[in-house]
Structure 1
């Protein structure tokens, strides 16, 4: 398995929420070198990732907190 690596930089440091259990149904987030965030499925570490600018990620988090995706 290869870690997700940003061009010209170190591997990403992925973080899983402390609210996540051990069932493997989690997403992980990493800070991108140029700003923004990346998300991936914790069950597929070498799989695809979604990337967001800082503004996009902020809007996503606010929408989640406000219950928009319930």
Structure 2
């Protein structure tokens, strides 16, 4: 994980996506691919709040673990 929390781009706006299973009250995270190939993540309830940026390898490792059920115990 990188230590920069805000992403400022003078280019075109990011295209934020969230899972179709997201809570309708907005309790979810959104992801956007950056021009650099990195992936930005933010809290959908605070779209102007902090953004965490991950490398493609970090996102791939997380998704692999999620698919394997390694984080299922964290869901309420």
Q: TM-score per shorter chain, which class? A: 0.7 to 0.9
**2:43 pairs with one of 41, 44, 53:** 41
Higher relative CO (CA 8 A, sep ≥ 6), structure 1 or 2?
A: 2
Give TM-score, length-normalised by structure 2.
0.75
- Tell me, which stretches of 5 or more residues in structure 2 are unaligned? 1-6
Taking only aligned residues, the RMSD between alpha carbons, in angstroms, comes to 1.5
Where structure 1 has 5 or more consecutive residues not aligned to the other structure, the ranges are: none
- Equivalent pairs, count: 66
Normalized per residue, the structure richer in strand is 1
Q: Is the 8 A contact 1:30 1:39 kept in 2?
A: yes
Counterparts of 1:49 and 1:68 in 2: how far apart (Å)?
A: 24
